[in-house]
């Protein structure tokens, strides 16, 4: 019985090491949950990301979790990035969530689907310090239903994943 406990412990520890090593290039990965009543047009998801290098290229990815009752095949987002010195950059991003046949893109289980939308790949930030990413929905609905979470992931580009 002791051998079984010991073997199980070793397997669990090895599993944790493998899982944690897979994301060693991740700088930031966070989600904001959208209220059940819908994502109001005036509601903003804000993410603060600390950038430590101006030489390192980064990948910035928008993560969208939608429910199967989301009525559209895409999601327009307005993204505003504010640098540590206060310079602002604004973008409009079309997040495609379903293919032409209406099948949800990305992974999912039950009625929840997760799409990873590349926003900026291999970008080098001009300054080090805290950047603010502000995201609002740009659809025509005042209270957009069917979006469960909005997330932001920043990872070091060119980091080998094991």
**134 DSSP β-pair partners:** 46, 80
Q: Which residue has the higher pLDDT, 158 or 54?
A: 54
Average pLDDT over residues 117-137: 98
d(CA 131, CA 129): 6
**pLDDT at site 11:** 54
Q: What is the pLDDT of residue 24?
A: 72
| pLDDT tens figures, 55-88 | 999 999 999 999 999 999 999 999 999 999 999 9
Closest alpha carbon to 96 in 112, 75, 78, 113: 75
């Amino acid at each position: 019985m002791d051998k079984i406990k010991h073997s199980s412990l070793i397997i669990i520890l090895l599993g944790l090491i493998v899982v944690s090593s897979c994301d060693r290039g991740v700088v930031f990965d966070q989600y904001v949950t959208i209220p059940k009543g819908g994502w109001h047009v005036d509601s903003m998801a804000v993410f603060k990301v600390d950038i430590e290098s101006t030489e390192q290229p980064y990948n910035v990815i928008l993560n969208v979790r939608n429910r199967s009752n989301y009525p559209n095949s895409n999601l327009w987002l307005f993204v505003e990035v504010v640098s540590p010195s206060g310079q602002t950059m604004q973008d409009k991003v079309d997040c495609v969530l379903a293919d032409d046949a209406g099948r949800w893109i990305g992974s999912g289980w039950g009625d929840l689907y997760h799409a990873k939308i590349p926003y900026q790949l291999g970008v080098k930030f001009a300054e080090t310090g805290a950047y603010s990413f502000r995201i609002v929905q740009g659809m025509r609905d005042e209270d957009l239903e069917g979006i469960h979470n909005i997330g932001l992931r920043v990872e070091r580009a060119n980091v080998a994943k094991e």
